[in-house]
Amino acid sequence: MGRLVPPTSGDPATTAALRTKVREFLADQRAAGHYTPRVDSWLSAWDEDFTRALADRGWLGMTVPSEYGGHDRSFVERFVVTEELLAAGAPVAAHWIADRQIVPSLLKYGTDEQKEKYLPGISRGEVFFGIGMSEPDSGSDLVSVRTTGTRVDGGWRINGSKVWTSGAHQAHAFIVLARTAPVDATNRHAGLSQFLVDLDSPGVQVRPIISMSGEHHFNEVFLTDVLVPDSQVFGTIGQGWEQVTSELSFERSGPERVLSTFPLLAGLTAMDNGPELGRLVGRIAGLHQMSAAVAGALERRERADVAAAVVKVLGTSTEGDIAEAAALLTGDESDDDWKKLVHTGLDQRPGFTLRGGTNEILRGVIARGLGLR
């Protein structure tokens, strides 16, 4: 049987100086009162000033070539920066999707014009993105999307609706998966395509969905006769499924699938030293190695979809268990800020194992990777 997760690679000493710099920056930002640690900060803590402060240090668009305004750094260096930001609960939601997912996708599939249009702005912390995959009846079974792209003179007319679109009310553009050819019963994955849609385009309407905690991260996005020029077709018409699945390794394996509740774990260490805390610290340490190993594989352009699924299943279960442990181990004497952090962790927990593909679906991906299905 092959390895489920690639071997760890790279010497941590080579990135130690960078890690220290990020920690110093975060300590300065906190001391200056620019942020307080948040749970699930990569989804819910949108702070464009903080994003620009990161960009000023060259910590956005790290893997973007300098000709497109980026910094020619490695995935592994980006991994170190993002891991530190998440561990500190820093407000990184504004740029998260653009920097994590749109950057590698544009570098792989984007035209020169698209790279020039978006990459410099992403690297400056000025251009933000959303993901338009899910629809009211298409989540796990994404191939069943009903949004359509119809060929018209000079481009494509898009009609349909998307749901759970995080950040669409604040982002500039989103990447839309649409059906551009009728369903072929012998190959349902054919006939799908992706489009880069600017969210201020005529015909795009964004409506809020308020979550049970009262916050606004999600949206419904309605697309009515939205005209997308050929220059905004992403990749190749008809290859949308291959493109989406190649993006998913970037979406599923990063430290944000492990560290959403790390500020709770860090806080607990000051209050408790029992065996449950030890178990959680051990799980996080192992997941750090696994997630770093996938970053190394992506750097070497190796396939990492199964490994990414393993990280996501184990990582999102662990971050949920941390939220639960924080609630169980915290005494009545704890202060209000801490209680609020614990409640946020519990409120956000159901989403951890859903977003980016549910754990049930990912177990199927892993089973296939092991040759069991």
Does 161 participate in binding ligand FAD (rule CB under 6 A)?
no
**Toward ligand FAD, which CB reaches closer, 329 or 361?**
361
Query: Cβ of residue 316: shortest distance to ligand FAD, in angstroms?
Result: 11
Among positions 139, 148, 215, 327, the unique one binding ligand FAD when judged by CB under 6 A: 139
Does 346 participate in binding ligand FAD (rule CB under 6 A)?
no
Query: Cβ of residue 194: shortest distance to ligand FAD, in angstroms?
Result: 12
Query: Cβ of residue 140: shortest distance to ligand FAD, in angstroms?
Result: 3
- Torsion angle of the four alpha carbons 230, 234, 237, 238, in this order, in degrees rounded to the nearest 10: -160
Whole-angstrom distance, CA of residue 240 vs CA of residue 189: 8
Does 45 participate in binding ligand FAD (rule CB under 6 A)?
no
Helices (H), 133-274: 240-253, 262-268
Whole-angstrom distance, CA of residue 373 vs CA of residue 364: 8
Collapse the DSSP code of 224 into the 3-class scheme (helix H, G, I; strand E, B; otherwise coil) and give the result.
strand
CB atoms within 10 A of CB 136: 12
Among positions 134, 194, 232, 253, the unique one binding ligand FAD when judged by CB under 6 A: 134
Collapse the DSSP code of 311 into the 3-class scheme (helix H, G, I; strand E, B; otherwise coil) and give the result.
helix
Among positions 15, 165, 246, 344, the unique one binding ligand FAD when judged by CB under 6 A: 165
Does 219 participate in binding ligand FAD (rule CB under 6 A)?
no
**Toward ligand FAD, which CB reaches closer, 71 or 162?**
162
To the query of whether residue 247 is one of the catalytic residues in this protein, the response is no
Query: Cβ of residue 246: shortest distance to ligand FAD, in angstroms?
Result: 16
Does 144 participate in binding ligand FAD (rule CB under 6 A)?
no
**Toward ligand FAD, which CB reaches closer, 160 or 357?**
357
Structure tokens at 72: 């020619």
Does 95 participate in binding ligand FAD (rule CB under 6 A)?
no
Helices (H), the chain: 13-31, 41-44, 48-56, 75-87, 93-97, 103-109, 112-123, 240-253, 262-268, 275-299, 305-329, 336-352, 359-369
Point out the catalytic residue in the list 251, 299, 324, 333: 251
**Toward ligand FAD, which CB reaches closer, 17 or 212?**
212
Q: Is the dihedral of CA 274, 279, 280, 285 positive or negative?
A: positive
Whole-angstrom distance, CA of residue 124 vs CA of residue 258: 27
Residues 6+ apart with CB under 8 A from 199: 130, 168, 171, 172, 173, 174, 206, 221
Does 133 participate in binding ligand FAD (rule CB under 6 A)?
yes
Q: Which residues contribute to the site for ligand FAD (CB under 6 A)?
A: 43, 130-134, 139-140, 164-166, 351, 354-355, 357-358, 360-361
Catalytic residues: 251
